[in-house]
Chains A and B, each alone.
Chain A
Amino acid sequence: MTEKYIGKRLTRNEDPRLLTGQALFVDDVEIPGMLHAAFLRSDYAHARLRSINVSAARSRPGVVAVYTAEDMGDAWQPGPPLVSPPPTVEDIVFHSRTQVPLVKDKVRLAGEPLAVVIAESRYVAEDALDDIVVELEPLGAVVDLEKALEPDAPLVHDDLEFNLAAHLIQEKGDYAAAREKADLIIRRRIVIDRGTAAAMENRGIVAHWDEKSQQLTLWDTTQAPIPIRNGLAGMFGLSTHQVRVIAPFVGGGFGPKIMMFCPEEVVLTWATLQLGRPIKWIEDRRENFYATNQERGQVHDAELALTHDGRILGLRDDFIHDTGAYDPYGLTVPLNTQCHAFGPYAIPTYYGDLKVVFTNRPIVSPLRGAGRPQGVFVIERLLDVAAKKLGIDKVEIRKRNLLPPDVFPYDNKIIDQAFVSLVYDSGNYRPVLEKAAAMIGYDRFLSEEQPRLRAEGRHVGIGIVSFIETTGIGPYEGARVTVETSGKVSAATGVGTQGQGHFTSFAQIVADQLGVSPRDVNLVTGDTSEFHWGTGTFASRGAVVAGNAVNAAALTVRAKILKLASKVLEVPEEKLELEDGRVRVTGVPQQSISLGELAVLANPLRGAVEPGTEPGLEATAYFGPKYGATASGSHAMILEVDPETMMIEIRRYVLVEDCGTVINPLIVEGQLHGGVALGIGNSYYEQLMYDENGQLLNASFADYLIPTASEVPRVEIGHEETPSPLNPLGNKGVGEGGCIPVPAVFAQALEDALADYAIEILEVPMSPDKLFELLQGKGKEQ
């Protein structure tokens, strides 16, 4: 029997290159004659640009050019909206205001670029920034989400009457009537604040317009090379064949790198077109804090209506979402929040009033989790409060509300981020929750361990939550699979790669179809000259959408192989099998031909090719799901806190994930580990602190704390597999799942650990200071 690779814990094909420093990152690109760019950024969050004088900077030796918005002429245009406003909801308000390449009239966030210096070296470029004289008239800043909507608030966009970017009401059933019938109403104000992705590699671009070949090449840390190529070609009047965008290895995407188009992409492209010389810009860490997109700021007024036995009758979730100074990403993030507040539960009625506000802070676009952690935090916190009030166990109240396995596909009857009805394709939530409870020893902890620890005066608590995650959304991805004459296989796809293990997972898919070793499958990814069509790496969709495209292409190549081999070996196709890089006659292993030989025969130098056949053992295929595949999971945590120092220790972390078919458990678990680490940061460490003037107060890793190895526990992982019916591989995305429920499970465990203080955690990120304040006045008898 042929060896199957899907489901195997295969070490990653890309790791030898990455670990020995042989992988190409944008900053590794060196071209003779290359120039370097540095951006002058505003120190003010909100200010009118009165004047800008760059003449001294231009005359500094080594400076090649200095550009402002005025210099760009007609090329200066606000960026395109990335996601069109939702068309399907009545009475929707949506004001599209997109980012600009360089500030022309008004600064709307601290860090917005005012000018760019192009010089022979980065040193010279940075020195020349000091030569630029800028006159900015500071304006009052909009920072607080609720104050943003007050009538006397300063306006981020002067042409709007208010700072309201969008307003949308979604309803399912009659929430008001359900509320009337409820035995218990839980209403809470819940606040979630911003964090940054803190990718190991900051953004970077090398833009090179070659006059002679009339080719523009852009090495870019983008998550979406093909849309960047298409967009830049359109902006600058080039054919897409003249533009090649290469997203080489990227040290972490996490969402912000899907931003299209960040000002730097447009400015560098325009500048290389002016100068005809390659230009490099590598973002430094401080720029990353100020100028790279962020996420998560929301203020919820949420209400859950329940029966006396803990069954949900309805959910109301009114919230304000901070979109930052611009809203190129439309409603993607807050719609995800609305949808994920439904969780894996049967919620018969819903009312949600969503207001999106402009603030003088960096642009908000999806950041790993993309609105989902907020929605999960809201529903899980409300359930926890309800469980406490009703005296129902935390696992039990969840079980009572989980959707049963026979309801799928299940339509939640509200629209999701793709503006179609939120449908869960498949799921089986109870075994996932039960497995997580069993793995962490939930019952034993409550009955034996916790009482013993409490008797010792220790504060140790347990948390357990469930969630769903919409993944693998369309529109589509494509792939081309080719058997080379060497017998090795190459596969090309349009998605970029930022550490997801595509080189291995996709190779496993091809290997299973073609009977080759995954080590002999070479993947090409993120280079628009290698694959022409696609969208990008986001929304936990790579393995689902691109993975199934790879599968479809490999399947077609397999058919071509069998057809040709059948002719060559003079044996019917049904009697052939693919194994070890050869086509063999079943039962007659000595009668065989290698894939390499077949590839030569498939592309003959002489003779006639039969009409209707294509040369080579190659196929291109596309895959687009009807709608997203719904992954699910349960996370559980045992946490100890010292109410004197507010220091915490996560003693155990268990998660059970159902992402359908697992292609490579090692990679899936790596994704989950990373996700949990981010989630822990979002829970207790990572908060961007802004003052009332929109100044970021912790713009370095000395003050913005990301969890390190000492804060991240060993994560114990269990899998359940409910295959998605929407794609042949049956898989679902898992790139974000690790981080999504962490703040919710953290808050529950922390509350449980401090049960004698009777606190409610209704805000994340928490921090030692905030916990200290919360415990003040709630102290038990000392």
Chain B
Amino acid sequence: MKIEGEYIFNGPREDVWELVRDPDVLVTALPGAKDLNQVGENEYEGEMNVRIGPVAGFFSGRIVVSDEVPPESYTLSVEGKGNPGFAKGTGRVQLIEQGDGTTLMRYEGEMQIGGRLAGVGQRLIDTASKSMIRQGLETLNQALQARVAARSEGKEEGAYKPPSEAEFATAVAKDMAGEMLSSARTRMILIAIAVAIVIIIVAVVLISTGGGN
């Protein structure tokens, strides 16, 4: 499965870079995720309990960051497996300064999915992955804006409150429904096979220069 897309962050590139290298922030963009732990210089492991529709279970993933060019680009290799199946892929993420104070994130990658995720969730994988990535990035953008706003007011931290797991799931479901209707798909069973996709989000948004806290 090919994954590609773009997203505009309302903030300067350095701030986006800093944001996406902060595992504590990233976890808030991934409902159901336990923490992301650094296990090597550029290696992270995370765990996630997913319980949506017929695909439910524990998923553990490993992320390796390479080819890093701060604050411009990096490559992510992701491997996740668990009761719902497995996912494996690599993706390239680029941050491009827009010149108007915003930053364009461009991502593309290849994903291989297996087990129940592939067998039962195939039909929704495309839609679900796009929706979850979009919602995850949306959450990060809000966090970014909270940070930027806090700084301009001279405070240390922004008063940003991440969305609850339920809020996130609702947003994804709405997004998917819209996507499916617009692409004239007939069946609207919102089972969410999104575990792999969640891992992708982790991948897409995680950044590390080896020094996260």
Q: Which residues of A contact B (CB under 8 A)?
A: 43-45, 110, 129-130, 138, 286, 289-290, 691, 693, 695-700, 702-703
In chain B between 138 and 162, which residues have their CB closer than 8 angstroms to a CB of chain A?
A: none
Residues in A with CB closer than 8 Å to B81 are 43
A696-B189 CB under 8 A given contacts A44-B114, A130-B58, A130-B83: no
Q: Does B119 contact A (CB under 8 A)?
A: yes
Q: Does B116 contact A (CB under 8 A)?
A: yes
Interface centre among A290, A693, A695, A700 (most CB of B within 10 A): A695
A699-B83 CB under 8 A given contacts A110-B114, A130-B57, A693-B112: no
| Minimal Cβ-Cβ distance residue in B for A110 | B114
Residues in A with CB closer than 8 Å to B85 are 43
Q: Does B51 contact A (CB under 8 A)?
A: no
Tell me the minimal C-beta distance from A568 to chain B in angstroms. Answer: 68
Cα A44 to Cα B81 in complex, Å, equals 11
Does B114 contact A693, Cβ atoms closer than 8 Å? Answer: yes
Tell me the minimal C-beta distance from B113 to chain A in angstroms. Answer: 7
Does A44 contact B122, Cβ atoms closer than 8 Å? Answer: no
26 interchain pairs, CB-CB under 8 A: A43-B81, A43-B86, A43-B115, A44-B86, A44-B114, A45-B114, A129-B83, A130-B57, A130-B83, A289-B119, A290-B119, A691-B118, A695-B114, A695-B118, A696-B119, A697-B118, A697-B119, A697-B122, A698-B119, A699-B116, A699-B118, A699-B120, A702-B120, A702-B187, A703-B120, A703-B123
Does B114 contact A702, Cβ atoms closer than 8 Å? Answer: no
Residues in B with CB closer than 8 Å to A697 are 118-119, 122
Extra contacts, 18 of them, besides A110-B114, A130-B83 (Cβ < 8 A), are: A43-B86, A43-B114, A44-B86, A45-B114, A129-B83, A286-B120, A289-B119, A693-B112, A695-B113, A695-B114, A695-B115, A695-B119, A699-B116, A699-B118, A699-B119, A700-B119, A702-B120, A703-B122
- Count CB-based A-B contacts (< 8 Å): 49
Interface centre among B57, B58, B83, B88 (most CB of A within 10 A): B83
Cα A697 to Cα B189 in complex, Å, equals 17
In chain B between 144 and 183, which residues have their CB closer than 8 angstroms to a CB of chain A?
A: none
Cα A252 to Cα B153 in complex, Å, equals 73
| Minimal Cβ-Cβ distance residue in B for A126 | B83
Main secondary structure of the interface of A (DSSP, over half): loop
Residues in B with CB closer than 8 Å to A138 are 88
| Minimal Cβ-Cβ distance residue in A for B81 | A43
Cα A286 to Cα B119 in complex, Å, equals 9
Cα A438 to Cα B113 in complex, Å, equals 53
Residue from A290, A696, A702 in contact with B123 in the complex, judged by beta carbons closer than 8 Å: A702
Residues in B with CB closer than 8 Å to A45 are 114
Cα A699 to Cα B54 in complex, Å, equals 13
Cα A43 to Cα B112 in complex, Å, equals 12
| Minimal Cβ-Cβ distance residue in A for B54 | A700
| Minimal Cβ-Cβ distance residue in B for A704 | B119
Cα A699 to Cα B81 in complex, Å, equals 19
Cα A695 to Cα B117 in complex, Å, equals 10
Tell me the minimal C-beta distance from B77 to chain A in angstroms. Answer: 14
Cα A696 to Cα B122 in complex, Å, equals 9
Q: Can you list the 3 inter-chain pairs with the closest CB atoms, starting with the nearest?
A: A699-B119, A43-B115, A695-B118
Residues in A with CB closer than 8 Å to B119 are 286, 289-290, 695-700
Cα A45 to Cα B113 in complex, Å, equals 12
Cα A289 to Cα B122 in complex, Å, equals 15
Tell me the minimal C-beta distance from A756 to chain B in angstroms. Answer: 27
Residues in B with CB closer than 8 Å to A130 are 57-58, 83
Tell me the minimal C-beta distance from B79 to chain A in angstroms. Answer: 10
Contact with A along B114-139 (1 / 0, CB 8 A): 11101110110000000000000000
Residues in B with CB closer than 8 Å to A44 are 86, 114
Residues in B with CB closer than 8 Å to A698 are 119, 122
In chain B between 50 and 100, which residues have their CB closer than 8 angstroms to a CB of chain A?
A: 57-58, 81, 83, 85-86, 88
Residues in A with CB closer than 8 Å to B113 are 695
Tell me the minimal C-beta distance from B88 to chain A in angstroms. Answer: 8
Residues in B with CB closer than 8 Å to A691 are 118
Cα A699 to Cα B119 in complex, Å, equals 5
Residues in B with CB closer than 8 Å to A129 are 83
Does B86 contact A702, Cβ atoms closer than 8 Å? Answer: no
| Minimal Cβ-Cβ distance residue in B for A703 | B123
Tell me the minimal C-beta distance from A104 to chain B in angstroms. Answer: 21
| Minimal Cβ-Cβ distance residue in A for B88 | A138
Does B189 contact A702, Cβ atoms closer than 8 Å? Answer: yes
Cα A129 to Cα B115 in complex, Å, equals 14
Tell me the minimal C-beta distance from A113 to chain B in angstroms. Answer: 14
| Minimal Cβ-Cβ distance residue in B for A700 | B120
Tell me the minimal C-beta distance from A748 to chain B in angstroms. Answer: 30
Interface centre among A43, A693, A695 (most CB of B within 10 A): A43
Cα A45 to Cα B187 in complex, Å, equals 29
Tell me the minimal C-beta distance from B181 to chain A in angstroms. Answer: 19
| Minimal Cβ-Cβ distance residue in A for B79 | A138
| Minimal Cβ-Cβ distance residue in A for B84 | A43
Residues in B with CB closer than 8 Å to A695 are 113-115, 118-119
Cα A698 to Cα B122 in complex, Å, equals 7
| Minimal Cβ-Cβ distance residue in B for A692 | B112
Cα A44 to Cα B88 in complex, Å, equals 12
Cα A65 to Cα B42 in complex, Å, equals 40
Residues in A with CB closer than 8 Å to B115 are 43, 110, 695
Cα A691 to Cα B110 in complex, Å, equals 14
Residues in A with CB closer than 8 Å to B118 are 691, 695-697, 699
Tell me the minimal C-beta distance from B95 to chain A in angstroms. Answer: 31
Residues in B with CB closer than 8 Å to A702 are 120, 123, 187, 189
Tell me the minimal C-beta distance from A142 to chain B in angstroms. Answer: 15
| Minimal Cβ-Cβ distance residue in B for A130 | B83
Residues in B with CB closer than 8 Å to A693 are 112, 114
Cα A324 to Cα B113 in complex, Å, equals 21
| Minimal Cβ-Cβ distance residue in A for B85 | A43
Cα A45 to Cα B57 in complex, Å, equals 21
Tell me the minimal C-beta distance from B192 to chain A in angstroms. Answer: 14
| Minimal Cβ-Cβ distance residue in A for B116 | A286
Residues in A with CB closer than 8 Å to B112 are 693
Tell me the minimal C-beta distance from A128 to chain B in angstroms. Answer: 12
Cα A696 to Cα B118 in complex, Å, equals 7
Residues in A with CB closer than 8 Å to B58 are 130
Cα A45 to Cα B122 in complex, Å, equals 17
Interface centre among B57, B123, B187 (most CB of A within 10 A): B123
Contact with A along B28-43 (1 / 0, CB 8 A): 0000000000000000
Cα A702 to Cα B187 in complex, Å, equals 10
| Minimal Cβ-Cβ distance residue in A for B119 | A699
Cα A696 to Cα B85 in complex, Å, equals 12
Cα A249 to Cα B117 in complex, Å, equals 34
Cα A45 to Cα B58 in complex, Å, equals 21
Residues in A with CB closer than 8 Å to B88 are 138
| Minimal Cβ-Cβ distance residue in A for B123 | A703
Tell me the minimal C-beta distance from A227 to chain B in angstroms. Answer: 32
| Minimal Cβ-Cβ distance residue in A for B118 | A695
Tell me the minimal C-beta distance from A140 to chain B in angstroms. Answer: 11
Cα A43 to Cα B115 in complex, Å, equals 4
Cα A488 to Cα B36 in complex, Å, equals 75
| Minimal Cβ-Cβ distance residue in A for B86 | A43
Tell me the minimal C-beta distance from B187 to chain A in angstroms. Answer: 8
Residues in A with CB closer than 8 Å to B123 are 702-703
Cα A691 to Cα B88 in complex, Å, equals 14
Cα A693 to Cα B119 in complex, Å, equals 12
Tell me the minimal C-beta distance from A155 to chain B in angstroms. Answer: 20
Tell me the minimal C-beta distance from A342 to chain B in angstroms. Answer: 38
| Minimal Cβ-Cβ distance residue in A for B125 | A697
Residues in A with CB closer than 8 Å to B83 are 129-130
Interface centre among B88, B113, B116, B118 (most CB of A within 10 A): B118
Residues in B with CB closer than 8 Å to A290 are 119
Cα A130 to Cα B58 in complex, Å, equals 8
Residues in A with CB closer than 8 Å to B189 are 702
Residues in B with CB closer than 8 Å to A43 are 81, 85-86, 114-116
| Minimal Cβ-Cβ distance residue in A for B115 | A43
Residues in A with CB closer than 8 Å to B86 are 43-44
